[in-house]
Structure 1
Amino acid sequence: MNTPQSDHIPQEAFDWYDEYAHGLIDRRTFMKKLGGLAALGFSMTVLTGALLPNYAQAEQVSFNDDDIKATYQVFDSPDGHGSGKGYLVVPTNTQGKLPVVLVVHENRGLNPYVKDVARRLAKAGFIAFAPDALHPLGGYPGNDDEGRAMQRTLDRTKIQNDFVAAAHFLKAHPNSNGKLGAVGFCFGGYIVNYLAAVDSNLLTAGVPFYGTPASESLHKNIKAPLMIQLAELDKRVNATWPEYEQSLKSNNVDYTMHMYEGANHGFHNDSTGRYDEKNAELAWQRTLAFFNNHLS
């Protein structure tokens, strides 16, 4: 019997990974569920290789690219953990004031995929800054499992305040044109929704990828246009959309929602089998066009 390829892995496996990645089941339960697929001819090597991240696959823009310069920057966060740290990437071939974009990671710290997203933005002409919520604990530890466990130990309100501080830090960059965008994935998508809602004057435009909304009591503050990126198979996040959409309509928010057919939660992350190249590229081109339209 031939070993099934990753694109033939049952949808249940992707759903179990989503549950595991968001703390709804532990690793032991996740691996046990995957083991149950052995009867269908799947080896654990194929399953884990498709579902767990391989960051060697996620580099689209090298940190050595001559068109960008990447450094780490520390910023003050008095209402958060005191200080924060992030990955700042600036274009080297563009002069004058530039739009700035905050890049917000998933629920596991600043991993290589999110750093690459920041480099992609700088390559496209934006100043990009990707903070690491795990800075108070020494930073992203090098693997997602440990990073996810570390992030769960941090106070959520302080994390949110760290990202607010990071947004102010980036907006005040000497080469900023004063217009701030934000893009985030999963937990980062939530943070983008939160930044838009916590302060009407903070964001100029936001693109949350498969992120849940901020508290409804804050929705009245949203003034920035939003591009909502959702995955058709992402039942957990999509369940929050109808109510959020009604709230956005009630508050006259300028928003667009794109639902990506056949895509899983995390479809933009090119380090796992959830990656959907066609939908990811479409979503990214829409993101760049949205930022160019609102931030230039």
Structure 2
Amino acid sequence: MRQDVEIQTADGVAKAGLFAPTGPNASKAGVILYCDAFGPRPALYGMAERLADAGYFVLVPDLFYRAAPYGPFDTNAFNNEATRGVLRALLQATTQAMTAADTGAFLDALEKAGATGRIGTVGYCFGGGRALTAAATYPDGIAAAASFHGGNLASDAPDSPHRKAADIRGRVYVGMAGTDSSFPPAQSAKLAEALREADVDYVLENYVGMPHGWTVSDHSVYDAKGAERHWKRLLAFFEETLR
């Protein structure tokens, strides 16, 4: 069951959904789930509930709280002329540095809630890079970082996550869409090189045939079979690393 909480950050108050672990597998481990471009919503809360059912404290923070109120956006927002520009401006205004700074408060909120064990991160689309950057920013606090159909993980941007690979001490898993213009093969190779040179324990997996956004149930490109494969990998990754 979701508990709505407010988290004080250096820039204001971020709302978040907090989920406590349930069932016989309940643990003290925690997970921060970084939203995709469309923000926190029922589809992502459902994913958080599944992680909580697997035994983890889960926090789903609003990464766009500085612009609140905004939206809400549905997953066709980029195809709608009225919302495309608004959404792009929101994404550009929410920098990697902002989310990295906020993550310190997110970690404190998880610990206060009872997550005193190991912490992992997982991000989707826009949030994929945030999950990796968090692991680099808080190497002593984050033991595992996962990204699914994350974009621009090894771009030319100064804040591209691959540039911080040397700071990561935890494990990394990256699940790539089979064809994804936001994370083409050249970026995949650059990310793998950076992680390997930094001696990071990592896996990059190509989900052949899966489009960008395939894991999230309210996306038009959602693929149930591919999503279950993602769940199998993610739960095993967290089980091995956080428990």
TM-score (norm 1): 0.70
Give how far 1:265 is off.
0.7
Q: Map 1:83-122 onto structure 2 (within 5 A).
A: 83-94=13-24, 97-122=27-52
Equivalence for 1:129: 59
Equivalence for 1:49: none
Structure 2 Cα separation of the partners of residues 114 and 108 of structure 1: 10
- From the superposition, tell whether residues 126 and 215 of structure 1 become closer, same or farther in structure 2 (CA, over 3 Å): closer
Structure 2 Cα separation of the partners of residues 149 and 235 of structure 1: 16
Listed one character per residue, the Cα deviations across residues 51-76 of structure 1 (whole Å, up to 9, x for unaligned) are: xxxxxxxxxxxxxxxxxx21111112
Give how far 1:197 is off.
1.6
Equivalence for 2:156: none
Q: Confirm or deny that 1:71 pairs with 2:17.
A: no
Q: Confirm or deny that 1:161 pairs with 2:101.
A: yes
TM-score (norm 2): 0.84
Is the partner of 1:235 in helix, strand or coil?
A: coil
Matched AA of 1:165: A
Is the partner of 1:73 in helix, strand or coil?
A: strand
Q: Map 1:40-55 onto structure 2 (within 5 A).
A: none
Equivalence for 1:28: none
- From the superposition, tell whether residues 199 and 177 of structure 1 become closer, same or farther in structure 2 (CA, over 3 Å): closer
- From the superposition, tell whether residues 206 and 139 of structure 1 become closer, same or farther in structure 2 (CA, over 3 Å): farther
Structure 1 Cα separation of the partners of residues 92 and 206 of structure 2: 32
- From the superposition, tell whether residues 234 and 164 of structure 1 become closer, same or farther in structure 2 (CA, over 3 Å): farther
Is the partner of 1:122 in helix, strand or coil?
A: helix
Equivalence for 2:171: 225
Structure 1 Cα separation of the partners of residues 104 and 222 of structure 2: 29
Give how far 1:177 is off.
3.3
Q: Is the 8 A contact 1:132 1:140 kept in 2?
A: no
Matched AA of 2:102: D
Give how far 1:273 is off.
2.7
Structure 2 Cα separation of the partners of residues 277 and 76 of structure 1: 37
Give how far 1:260 is off.
0.7
RMSD: 2.2
Give how far 1:193 is off.
1.1
- Which protein is bigger by CA-based radius of gyration? 1
Paired-residue identity, %: 25
Structure 2 counterpart of 1:251, from 195, 198, 218: 198
Give the gaps of 5 or more residues in structure 1. Answer: 1-68
Structure 2 Cα separation of the partners of residues 71 and 194 of structure 1: 26
Equivalence for 2:157: none
Structure 1 Cα separation of the partners of residues 39 and 89 of structure 2: 9
Give the gaps of 5 or more residues in structure 2. Answer: 78-82, 154-159
Structure 1 Cα separation of the partners of residues 234 and 26 of structure 2: 23
Q: Confirm or deny that 1:291 pairs with 2:238.
A: yes
Structure 2 Cα separation of the partners of residues 96 and 256 of structure 1: 26
Q: Is the 8 A contact 1:102 1:181 kept in 2?
A: yes
Structure 1 Cα separation of the partners of residues 235 and 118 of structure 2: 14
Aligned residues: 225
Q: Confirm or deny that 1:191 pairs with 2:130.
A: yes
- From the superposition, tell whether residues 155 and 128 of structure 1 become closer, same or farther in structure 2 (CA, over 3 Å): closer
Matched AA of 2:193: Q
Give how far 1:139 is off.
5.0
Structure 1 Cα separation of the partners of residues 94 and 228 of structure 2: 34
Structure 2 counterpart of 1:138, from 49, 53, 68: 68
Q: Is the 8 A contact 1:108 1:151 kept in 2?
A: no
Structure 1 Cα separation of the partners of residues 63 and 69 of structure 2: 8
Is the partner of 1:267 in helix, strand or coil?
A: coil
Give how far 1:258 is off.
1.4
Equivalence for 2:144: 205
Q: Is the 8 A contact 1:109 1:140 kept in 2?
A: no
Matched AA of 2:36: E
Q: Is the 8 A contact 2:174 2:203 kept in 1?
A: yes
Q: Confirm or deny that 1:180 pairs with 2:119.
A: yes
